Structures are given as C-alpha cells and as structure tokens.
Structure 1
C-alpha cells in the first residue's frame, strides 16, 4: 500500500483563531479551526467504503483482573479505554489536536475558553438502547473526577461548576485559564448512571462491565486469558461522518500471554493475525516463517510525524542514591548506547535526544535564546547544567569497553562523593553504591539491554541487582513507585501537548500513586512552563514553551534514553487492510484496529 500522509498545515504554521463570539460548532481545534467543514463526509485517513466483517486477533503480554479502565484499582487491557467507551467528541488523528461531534452534536466555547457547552445528539444511545442524557454526562464527569482514575482528577479540579442549561445541553465553567480544557472535557468517557445505582463504582472489577455507547461491546472474556469485543449491530452512531469508514471489523479479540516469546509463537502458529514488532533485528531475521514466505502474512511499514517520547531506564529520584544529579549523569554516561544499540538491533537506530525530539517542539542545539530563554531564566538557579547552555547525551566509541566514557563516569561519581576502592564504588563511610533494577517478566528486550548495562556498570565498581517479577506485581509496585530504577516507556508527547504533561512530569503527580511521573520529578521550572504552554496565545509562544519544557526535562537527567523508531512495523494477515492515506500520528491510538478492515 502507498505511504502518503494526509497533508495538513504543519504545527509551525498553526493559526490561532480570533472568533469573537461563542456559537455552537461541529468541531473544535486546539489552535485555529478544525480542518474539516461542518458537512464533511468522512475523515481523510479512512476508507469510507471499507467493507464490514472479519476479525482481528491481537496479543498482549500480562493479564487483567478488571474491565473498568476508569478506576484506580485493578489491571485492565489498555485498549478498552479507547475501543469500548465513547466520549462527547471524537479525536481525528489526521490533525494535531482537533475534535468532532460524537455523542455531542455541537460544542460551544467563548474566545477565552472560560466555559464550554456540549449539546447531545438526540439519537445518542447506550448499548442497551437507552438514551444518553445530560444526567449521565454530569454523573460521569463528577464520578470520574472524584473517585475515578487519577488521570481525570486534575481536570475536574479546574471545573468551577457543571450544570444543565437545556434539555440536551450541559455547561462546564472553569476556575482557571487553560485553553485545552474544552477539548479535554470533550474526550471524557460517558457512562450510564443508572447502571451504578447501589453499587461501588470504584471497586468494580469483572462483575460489572460498564455500559457505554461505543461501537463495540464486550461479549465474552476469561480473566487473564482473553477479551472479546463485538461490533454492536445496533450502534447508534454508525452513520455519523466521524464514524464513517471506522469500526469495520466484526470482532476484536485480545489474547494474553505470559511473555513475548509465547506471543510471537502464537502469531507464527496462526492464533493471532497481527503483531506489532519493536525489535529491528527480530523484524529483519525472524519474520521469514512459512506464512510470510507464502504471502499469507504481510509486513507493513507505517511512518509517523510525532515526537519520540521517552523510553529507557528511569531513575526514581525519590530514592536517596539518585537525588544527586551528578550520579544520574554518571550512570547515563556509563550506559554504552552505541554498543548496545547495534548489539540489540543489528543496525543502528537513532537515539532519543529528548522527549519532544523528531518534531518542531524539539529543543534547539546550543544555548537557549529568545522566548525559550525568557521562560527558563526565572528558574535558572534550580535548573540543572545544560538547560540554559544546551545539553547533549554522552557519545561512546561503539566498543564494548567504552573506555573514555567509563573514565568520565568514574570522574563524575568521584565529584559526587563516590570512590573506586578495591573494585567497588564506595562513599567516605565505606558503603557501596548499589541499586535494584526492576523488570517485568517476559520483557525480552529490556532484559537484554539491562544485562549489557550491568556489565558496563561493573566496570565502574557498581553491582546492581536485577529483580524480575510477574505483570501483576510489577503493576502494583510501579504504581506505588516501589523501585530504584525500572524500564520506562512514555509515548506521551503529542503534536499538541497540553494538560497531560502535568500528569507525566508535574510535581503534584509525583506524590500520587498510579500517576505517570515515575521518576518523581519535582521541578518549579517544569511546573511553570507547563502552565505557560496551557495559556499561550500565539503559535510562537506555544512552541517556545514546549521547547523550554523539552530542555528542562532532558537536562534533568531523569531517564537513560535508548533509541526511537520513526516508523512502526506491523506484520498481519493479508486479509487485514488499512487505508493508503495515513494519519500524521501513524500507528497510534485510533489506527489499528479503528480504521482497518477485513477483505478476502
């Protein structure tokens, strides 16, 4: 298939709207107007004539003990939040951040976005046939914001009032300036209030499958083994322009495996009919089994235009041994990236240089200038070296011994008070420097990387322990930040970063168990810059704020980053097809299985 992108104006050319009066509209964009007009027929990255039918069977490593992804407790298949639940507005991944009507037929917000109104589509129905009402909307927002998953709490705290202002219209008034809030509110899942009367929503697990209005419903499952979703033949919104060409598959089945090896063997054996591969060497050498050779399995490359995010080994800065930034710098320096990269991948992959690398938001090389510098200067005293001057990751010589960087790492550790004595790195009291690396069982590539990293650390007198635990215990411990160092992967930066940045890096999130701030980042500069990007009024100010955030994060030395892949590798049954026009986000939420179809 062709690999053409749907060409929209780039982020750098975003135009800010100056509409004076609020009025109901069919959609909303973070900046400017949404690309599609009120009378659009379908999204540009779908096949509106795609046939309905068939099934996709995908694998996951781990297990689950809950089907409610909206609460704090339990382990839930991550896809359910996006496939089995529906919101007031739907996000188009062909644009940086634009929403179009779903449960809501229109959205209204003033120029300062101090409030937002949603008017429900009169045809909106839950899967049991009952209408979606304004009472369901208000109950869902309040319940999720108070006792739901932490991801919902920070937004609800910014709501001054929530009220019914018409038979099908609700209004949310905000207590703080945050231009992204109307969009975030539009993406909150809407659940059926009556289902939970007399029940404890926060404790729901496998006994109650939340009723929603989504195209798919959960029809069968076995705890920890599989979940089956089927397309609802009576789905209320099948003819909506936003839905046309999407949700084409009759069944979505998720199979769960103890480890990645078992999952790959299941794919080779025909139990699964799609597989996402992140290991380049494996893709090049192990995807030549008979089904591939015969053409029954197709290998597809899906490019994207989104930032790299961050992936690697995260320091838990709540731990005393990692509170000194020089220690973190030394351990980053000792990480033999160039050697590990080729050893694992076979061919060198580009390194993650910062969370917003590979995008217009990436920090510029060298010293901070202009608006970026203006944002950072008030916090210069608390920022770490490199934020103002420019920061680049250490570069090794590509050999296993990596002598120059090992010497440099030892020198930095000495500055931090640790000396090599009889082959062990110790402090003045004679205590050895050590820590534990926590890994999830079955995570093959992280284990390979850690094994090579441990060998490098031993060259500077550090002998870390490596603890491997099952998926359930890993989730529990990572949610409680009960680790020294662990594998960390956040594809968090989008092409329109906003409120979610507080959950990833904000000081408040550092103290909330279950949040995504695993590193325990507590930085006045990071907090202030995130607040600034949320109220930026020009394109230049917005981009400068994200560039400043990028500098503060990478110079904070919170993660030992590895490589990124500007493409995705998907192997799948030849009957599974996708459109030739790709969304700018590539293989991301909203791509597979959302716009795929099955065709003999």
Structure 2
C-alpha cells in the first residue's frame, strides 16, 4: 500500500516461519458452539471459522509481519498503474485445486462475481467498484475500477478463489454441508455438525514449495472439537484431549494452571507480547432502536458500566481498558486530548454534527471501584433527565410512562461475557433500568444478529495496522440497514464515511494516519459501544510437543502465525 515490501524477490521463506520445520502430527483445538454449514461465504448458516483459511486460497497472501504488504500466491505477478485504476493478475501455471484440476481465469472471474452478488455483504462493496472484469490472456485476469480506491488491488488479491464447476446446478447462497473444493493446503476429511471437523493436509498440494509457504502448514491433521461452554473446553485441555488453549482471563491464568502436566513439563505456558491494535470489544448498542438514538443515553449507559469493579472481579484487575478503537498502536487517535493538526483539519467540516468530545477530547469514565459507583451514576442520572427520562417509584420511564428496559443478547458458552453482563445488569438497576441477559445457541444468535434483532449485544472487532475498506463494513452508513452487515451498532455518520474515504484515497502515509486517527475519535466519542478490556499480550498454554518459531511477527500469536507455523515434535 505504501513504500516497498520488506522481503526481496528471492526470499526463502517468511521471516516468522521455520523452513526446516518437520511435517506430521495432529493439532486438536476446542471451541464452544458448533456449525451447521460448510459454506462460509454467505449470510445463511454457521460455518467453521477456520474453513476458508485452511482449504481455500487467494491470489495473494498476507505477511503478518508487515501491515501493508501482500505477496504472490495463486498469482505469480500483479500489475497496476500509478492511479491504481485497474489491477491485472497473472495466475501461476502450476496452481491446482485439491481435486487436481487447474485454477483458471474463469474460476477467478466466477468467484469474484458470485461472491460480490450472492455472497456475504463483506464481499459486495468491492464488486460494486469494478467497472469491468475480463480475461486478458490464458492466465491473465484484469479488473478495472469505477472509483478511486487505492486499496482495491489488495482487497481483490485477498478474495477467495473457488472452483466454478463445483457449484454448477447448485444454489450458492444456501447453506450446505458440502465442503468447498479449494486449492489450499488442507481438505475437509470429516465434518460432524455440533461435534467436530477435521482437516487433513493434502500431500499433493500444489503450493507446498513456494517460498511464501515454506515452513507453513506443517501439521498432517487439524481437528476442531466443539463443546457447550468455554469452561468445558478448558477442562478438555486440562485432560489432555486438546493441544492448545488461549487464556483470555488473567485471573484464571494465575490460578488455573497449577496442575501436574504443567509442573511435569508436559504443558508449556507462554506470555507473548504483540503490537496489534486493541480493536473494540464490549456491549454494542443498537441505535436502530430509538432507545439508544440519543448520545446522552449512550453516555449514561457507559457511565453505569463499572469497569474497575468488573475488572477486579473477573480479571484480578490485570487487563487494560480499551480507550479507543486503535488503542495499543500508532494509529490511536489520542482521543482524550483535543484534536490538532491534520486530524483537526479533516474533522472541521463536520464539526456541527460531531458528538461532544470528538474535537475537544473524550475519555471513558473511571469509577472508584466500589459497587456504589456514586459519582458516575449521578452523572448518568443527569444525562438521562436531559434526554427526557425520570424515575417513578424506582423505575426509569419516559414522558409517556414507558419503562427503560432492554435485553442483552449473548451466545451460550460465552462465560466471561455473561458474567460481565450480569454485573452490569445489577448496576443498571441503580438507575431504575431493567436489563435482562438472554443467551441463545450459535445458530439463533447469528440469525438474530444478522436481522439486527437485538437491543444490546457482544461486539468484538479485531482491527489491523492497515485499516481500509473493511472499516466501511464495520461502521459505514451504507451497511447500517444491510441484513447480515457487520455494522451492528447501526452507525450512520457522514464524518465516519468521509474519514474512511480519505484513508482509501490518499497516497500519503501521514494523511492516512491522520484520517485513521480522526476516524478513531469519531467512533469513540460516538459512544456506540460500552468498551471492556483488551489483551496486550497473548497467554498461551500448549502441549510440550507443539512448537512454533521464536520470531514472533508484528501481529503476535495471530492467524497467519497460528496455526500456520506450528509443528509437532517429541
């Protein structure tokens, strides 16, 4: 996107891969929930999260040690002009699907159009920006754009390439238990909905000798076991049934690993720092519901969330709070202070419509840690009264007498979030607000979230050091009313859209950074989410036979490194 790739044309392997890693062994992971479809490209159904990454490839591959660089994968070369008005990919002649058939230009064209018209909303935005898609040679495919968007060549480079012939006579936009035929390192060898899915390494994988892949995809088998709750997954790990566990709770990290397998060296523990942004995680308020339309109400609900008490009870006070969407990174908008310089210049045209604190500075409330949280609740009461709410006989009501009541929708098995929500519900009672936690299974949860049939729900968005078009999927106004959209809060802000457009149009890294920082300020001061915490390090417990390289990439223990670089060795 900017500058030059870090690796030379003749690189041997990615810097975080071990090119001498042995092949073989099985990795067994556990998850709470389940799946009912093997089509991860559409809104319908719940597909396994690893399916695409393990079995399907893209034209280019991401290095997780660089924020803005892609390298050739299915494509042996890529061409574009200075304005990036088009991109042309040349396919590798040796690229093959898992059934041995060649990956063709026709497969690429069909995949991109089908994903862009029938696939999940995350694919549709880029397709609308393509004026012309055409074959320009036996192995060449060109896409000409109808808008200025410098990220488009990279986005198309990361689109899944599927086998057209597999889908002939089938409805692409319907859930199915037929695994997609991809060109990736693994194939689905067994899929038992609600129980497990197993991926077997393809010994005839066409791409195993590419420098980009050298030292990656070493495991013969990757198996995912599904359980009812996260607690059950952990017990399966303790019992030796699973290979790896990622602990997100620092309090549990301190007390749950004093058992024989650890002291005997059969299980290893590691704390691994990273440089990725905090992203945002917390309780998203659905602003499509008039209850949450007023920023004063949203601020009151944030004031009522006693982070210090929750953090002490659930995390031993050991994790930092998310201060903004790009915390823990150089892209942070430093939202607590006033906007200055280029950031202020970009935001100034929208000043009249920006939420209070965007320009002046906005900081999340801090409590004294006591259950009473009196200072913050007094501020919340004042804001609610300004917004037309008052207490009658212990219940918060509006001018018509309608009570302030809502539901917090969560997924079964999300133990930490359920515990957090329960503490929050008790705090809300002090304001006269009736909140109820509703838990549902994975399929129902996805259906309700896709239809925006919730008042408040758990939101987690992992953000990268190279933000771009995906920000429109997360926060863009066009996505606010699109079923299946990832804009769960229903954000509709001209400033948000303009900052994202600026990020995509500029050729100047400093302008890009300023636009991202400005976006961070608008989102944070918009008060769309009750933020919780983030992990500034990855806490990993694993079978001692599992190994990974010493060199951690910029993103840390993250997809692209985990499980791609793993190997098993006694």
Give the TM-score category using the shorter length.
over 0.9
Q: Residue in 2 aligned with 1:423?
A: 394
How many pairs align?
569
- Tell me the secondary structure at the aligned position of residue 40 of structure 2: coil
- Tell me the secondary structure at the aligned position of residue 328 of structure 1: helix
Q: Residue in 2 aligned with 1:210?
A: 180
> Which of 492, 502, 505 does residue 522 from structure 1 map onto?
492
- Note if 1:101 corresponds to 2:72: yes
Question: Following the alignment from structure 1 to structure 2, what is the Cα–Cα distance between the partners of residues 408 and 135?
Answer: 61
Shift of 1:97: 2.1
Question: Following the alignment from structure 2 to structure 1, what is the Cα–Cα distance between the partners of residues 317 and 499?
Answer: 37
Q: Residue in 1 aligned with 2:454?
A: 483
**1:309-328 equivalence runs, <5 A:** 309-328=279-298
Question: Following the alignment from structure 1 to structure 2, what is the Cα–Cα distance between the partners of residues 378 and 499?
Answer: 22
Q: Is the 8 A contact 2:303 2:365 kept in 1?
A: yes
- For each residue in 1:351-373, what CA deviation from the matched residue of structure 2 results, as whole angstroms up to 9, or x when unmatched? 10011111111112421111111
Q: Residue in 2 aligned with 1:308?
A: 278
- Note if 1:92 corresponds to 2:55: no
- For each residue in 1:133-153, what CA deviation from the matched residue of structure 2 results, as whole angstroms up to 9, or x when unmatched? 111111111111111111110
**1:101-250 equivalence runs, <5 A:** 101-206=72-177, 208-250=178-220
**1:376-391 equivalence runs, <5 A:** 376-391=347-362
- Note if 1:408 corresponds to 2:408: no
> Which of 34, 56, 69 does residue 63 from structure 1 map onto?
34
Q: Residue in 2 aligned with 1:17?
A: none
Q: Residue in 2 aligned with 1:558?
A: 528
Shift of 1:204: 4.4
Q: Is the 8 A contact 2:281 2:460 kept in 1?
A: yes
TM-score (norm 1): 0.94
Question: Following the alignment from structure 1 to structure 2, what is the Cα–Cα distance between the partners of residues 547 and 163?
Answer: 37
Shift of 1:327: 0.3
Q: Residue in 2 aligned with 1:458?
A: 429
Shift of 1:563: 1.0
Question: Following the alignment from structure 2 to structure 1, what is the Cα–Cα distance between the partners of residues 512 and 331?
Answer: 9
Gaps of 5+ in 2: none
Shift of 1:155: 0.4
Q: Is the 8 A contact 2:280 2:324 kept in 1?
A: yes
Where do 4+ consecutive residues of structure 1 move more than 4 Å? none
Judge which range, 87-96 or 361-370, deviates more.
Answer: 361-370
**1:245-284 equivalence runs, <5 A:** 245-284=215-254
> Which of 497, 506, 516 does residue 467 from structure 2 map onto?
497
- Tell me the secondary structure at the aligned position of residue 76 of structure 2: strand
- Tell me the secondary structure at the aligned position of residue 212 of structure 2: coil
Question: Following the alignment from structure 2 to structure 1, what is the Cα–Cα distance between the partners of residues 302 and 415?
Answer: 21
- For each residue in 1:452-506, what CA deviation from the matched residue of structure 2 results, as whole angstroms up to 9, or x when unmatched? 1111111111121221111111111111111001111111x21110000000000
Question: Following the alignment from structure 1 to structure 2, what is the Cα–Cα distance between the partners of residues 274 and 34?
Answer: 33
Question: Following the alignment from structure 1 to structure 2, what is the Cα–Cα distance between the partners of residues 347 and 72?
Answer: 38
- Note if 1:49 corresponds to 2:17: no
TM-score (norm 2): 0.99
Question: Following the alignment from structure 2 to structure 1, what is the Cα–Cα distance between the partners of residues 486 and 58?
Answer: 23
- Tell me the secondary structure at the aligned position of residue 108 of structure 2: helix
Question: Following the alignment from structure 1 to structure 2, what is the Cα–Cα distance between the partners of residues 247 and 465?
Answer: 44
**1:338-357 equivalence runs, <5 A:** 338-357=308-327
Q: Residue in 1 aligned with 2:257?
A: 287
Question: Following the alignment from structure 2 to structure 1, what is the Cα–Cα distance between the partners of residues 31 and 434?
Answer: 32
Question: Following the alignment from structure 2 to structure 1, what is the Cα–Cα distance between the partners of residues 175 and 387?
Answer: 48
- For each residue in 1:164-223, what CA deviation from the matched residue of structure 2 results, as whole angstroms up to 9, or x when unmatched? 1111111110100101000010111111111111222222410x2111110111111111
Q: Residue in 1 aligned with 2:510?
A: 540
- Tell me the secondary structure at the aligned position of residue 111 of structure 1: coil
Judge which range, 412-421 or 246-255, deviates more.
Answer: 412-421
Question: Following the alignment from structure 2 to structure 1, what is the Cα–Cα distance between the partners of residues 211 and 563?
Answer: 18
Q: Residue in 2 aligned with 1:26?
A: none
- Tell me the secondary structure at the aligned position of residue 8 of structure 2: coil
- Tell me the secondary structure at the aligned position of residue 381 of structure 1: helix
Shift of 1:347: 2.9
Q: Is the 8 A contact 2:283 2:530 kept in 1?
A: yes
- Tell me the secondary structure at the aligned position of residue 472 of structure 2: helix
Q: Residue in 2 aligned with 1:9?
A: none
Shift of 1:293: 2.0
- For each residue in 1:312-353, what CA deviation from the matched residue of structure 2 results, as whole angstroms up to 9, or x when unmatched? 111000111100110000010111111111111013311100
Question: Following the alignment from structure 2 to structure 1, what is the Cα–Cα distance between the partners of residues 414 and 263?
Answer: 28
Question: Following the alignment from structure 2 to structure 1, what is the Cα–Cα distance between the partners of residues 228 and 362?
Answer: 40
Shift of 1:270: 1.5
> Which of 71, 76, 88 does residue 47 from structure 2 map onto?
76
Question: Following the alignment from structure 1 to structure 2, what is the Cα–Cα distance between the partners of residues 137 and 317?
Answer: 38
Question: Following the alignment from structure 1 to structure 2, what is the Cα–Cα distance between the partners of residues 141 and 227?
Answer: 27
Shift of 1:311: 0.5
Question: Following the alignment from structure 2 to structure 1, what is the Cα–Cα distance between the partners of residues 164 and 318?
Answer: 52
Question: Following the alignment from structure 1 to structure 2, what is the Cα–Cα distance between the partners of residues 71 and 501?
Answer: 19
Shift of 1:419: 1.3
- Tell me the secondary structure at the aligned position of residue 142 of structure 2: strand
- Note if 1:573 corresponds to 2:539: no
